[in-house]
């Protein structure tokens, strides 16, 4: 799950980040579990009702994660967003998931153009820009309505909900966000939080389908740990944890990210690379305002970090000590799937219970 705090800089980022953190504490995350449990049960019921033929789980999971995100973050079911918003949301996901090689290349080039050029380009009459603009408008419209409703409920003395927006719109909350800061978060979280989760779960199911023996062992471990309990002690299930780590390693929801250099510096390399002239390079000098691309997916398939078969699904690498045990990278298991530093993904505490 990813939230919009990463789009702010400096003191604005710290202020927004501090406020959003209130919805991702251990106590706050526990309050969302009931929602997630109901949505998960609904998914299971739908899957069981499907015929034995091949099933498109991606669309099913996409709708389910949108529902879970709506209830946990906004405090309302998907149907309250309106048919137009849901349809536009579906169109955004469809377009971003079916980009051609030309579109991918164009995105990479445009993102490196001067800001004034980018501001002109985004107003070109293309379908993807039109859908994106419409999504932003509808997201702000929905977010504004929800914030106003929550403020009115508080003014009437009604008890605030446990969802994130109720916390941040509550005037009695010291971390309350101004409406102009809170409203834009609605549209962003409903797309970013929805598809990152959907894709990760989809790849997990994909690997389980390819490895039925591992699937049976994992199911047995979960049933054994569950017993007569209604909750799971995740830390007591090594196979499940190894599975989660391996899926996050192989299929990071965000395969790469661009960072802007704030000052001239030198980036040391963990491993030397050879230049075109055959000379080893141990560090890379960068200048202020240059863009540095962080290739998370490439890093998470380095043989020096993950063993001799980094391109294969192999959860046992996390159990037999095959993974690199050197300096820590990222907030979890030496992975960069959740970024790191001050821009670490807020959703890590939801995606990984007990982390954060």
pLDDT digits (tens, 9 = 90+) for 175-189: 777 888 888 888 777
The answer, yes or no, to whether residue 6 has pLDDT greater than 50, is: no
- Residue 70 annotated as part of some ligand binding site: no
User: What is the tens place of the pLDDT at every residue in 187-227?
Assistant: 777 777 788 888 899 999 999 999 999 999 999 999 888 87
Please classify residue 73 by burial: count the beta carbons closer than 10 Å to its beta carbon, then call 0-12 exposed, 13-18 middle and 19+ buried: buried
Q: What distance in Å separates the CA atoms of residue 17 and residue 183, rounded to the nearest whole number?
A: 15
What does the pLDDT read at residue 134? 87
What does the pLDDT read at residue 325? 63
Closest CA to 133 of 122, 143, 121, 144: 122
User: What is the tens place of the pLDDT at every residue in 252-264?
Assistant: 988 888 888 989 9
Q: What distance in Å separates the CA atoms of residue 44 and residue 307, rounded to the nearest whole number?
A: 35
User: What is the tens place of the pLDDT at every residue in 287-343?
Assistant: 998 888 888 999 999 888 888 899 999 999 999 877 766 677 777 878 888 887 777
User: What is the tens place of the pLDDT at every residue in 109-123?
Assistant: 776 777 677 677 777
- Residue 51, Ramachandran bin (φ over 0: left; ψ between -120 and 50: alpha; else beta): beta
Q: What is the CATH number of domain 1-210?
A: 1.10.630.10
The answer, yes or no, to whether residue 4 has pLDDT greater than 60, is: no
First to last CA, the chain: 14
User: What is the tens place of the pLDDT at every residue in 33-58?
Assistant: 889 999 999 998 988 887 777 778 88
* Cβ-count burial 213-248 (b if 16+ within 10 Å, e if not): ebeeebeebeeeeeeeeeeeeeeebebbbbbbbbbb
What does the pLDDT read at residue 215? 97
The answer, yes or no, to whether residue 130 has pLDDT greater than 80, is: yes
**Which range has the worst mean pLDDT, 20-29, 38-47, 138-147?**
20-29
Q: What distance in Å separates the CA atoms of residue 184 and residue 139, rounded to the nearest whole number?
A: 7
Percent of the chain surpassing pLDDT 70: 92
Residue 8's pLDDT band, with cuts at 50, 70 and 90, is low
Q: What distance in Å separates the CA atoms of residue 25 and residue 128, rounded to the nearest whole number?
A: 36
The answer, yes or no, to whether residue 239 has pLDDT greater than 80, is: yes
Closest CA to 89 of 149, 142, 168: 142
The answer, yes or no, to whether residue 98 has pLDDT greater than 80, is: no
Residue with tokens 């007990």: 354
What does the pLDDT read at residue 324? 67
Mean pLDDT of 12-39: 83
Numbered ranges of CATH 1.10.630.10 in the chain: 1-210
Q: Own/partner pairs for 310-319, CB < 8 Å, 24+ apart?
A: 313/207, 313/210, 313/211, 313/246, 313/250, 314/246, 315/214, 315/239, 315/242, 315/243, 315/245, 315/246, 316/242, 317/242, 317/246, 318/241, 318/242, 318/245, 318/246, 319/238, 319/239, 319/242
């Amino acid at each position: 799950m990813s939230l919009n705090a990463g789009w702010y800089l400096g003191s604005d980022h710290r202020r927004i980040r501090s406020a959003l953190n209130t919805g991702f504490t251990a106590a706050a995350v526990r309050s969302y579990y009931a929602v997630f449990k109901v949505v998960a049960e609904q998914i299971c019921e739908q899957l069981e009702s499907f015929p034995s033929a091949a099933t498109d789980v991606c669309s099913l999971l996409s709708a389910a994660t949108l529902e879970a995100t709506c209830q946990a973050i906004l405090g309302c079911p998907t149907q309250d967003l309106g048919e137009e918003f849901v349809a536009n949301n579906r169109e955004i996901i469809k377009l971003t998931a079916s980009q051609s090689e030309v579109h991918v290349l164009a995105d990479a080039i445009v993102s490196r153009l001067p800001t004034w050029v980018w501001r002109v380009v985004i107003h070109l009459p293309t379908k993807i820009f039109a859908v994106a603009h419409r999504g932003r408008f509808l997201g702000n419209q929905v977010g504004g309505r929800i914030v106003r409703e929550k403020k009115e409920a508080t003014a009437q003395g009604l008890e605030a909900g446990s969802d994130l927006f109720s916390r941040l719109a509550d005037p009695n909350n010291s971390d309350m966000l101004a409406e102009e800061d809170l409203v834009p978060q609605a549209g962003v979280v409903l797309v970013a939080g929805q598809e990152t989760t959907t894709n990760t779960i989809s790849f997990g199911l994909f690997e389980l389908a390819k490895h039925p023996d591992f699937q049976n062992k994992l199911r047995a471990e979960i049933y054994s740990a569950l017993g007569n309990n209604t909750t799971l002690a995740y830390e007591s299930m090594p196979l499940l944890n190894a599975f989660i780590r391996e899926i996050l390693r192989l299929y990071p929801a965000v395969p790469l990210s661009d960072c802007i250099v704030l000052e001239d510096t030198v980036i040391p390399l963990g491993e030397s690379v050879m230049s075109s002239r055959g000379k080893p390079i141990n560090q890379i000098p960068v200048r202020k305002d240059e863009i540095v691309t962080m290739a998370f997916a490439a890093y998470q398939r380095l043989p020096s970090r993950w063993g001799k078969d980094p391109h294969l699904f192999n959860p046992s690498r996390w159990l037999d000590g095959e993974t690199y045990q050197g300096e820590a990278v990222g907030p979890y298991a030496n992975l960069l799937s959740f970024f790191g530093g001050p821009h670490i993904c807020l959703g890590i505490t939801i995606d990984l219970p007990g982390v954060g």
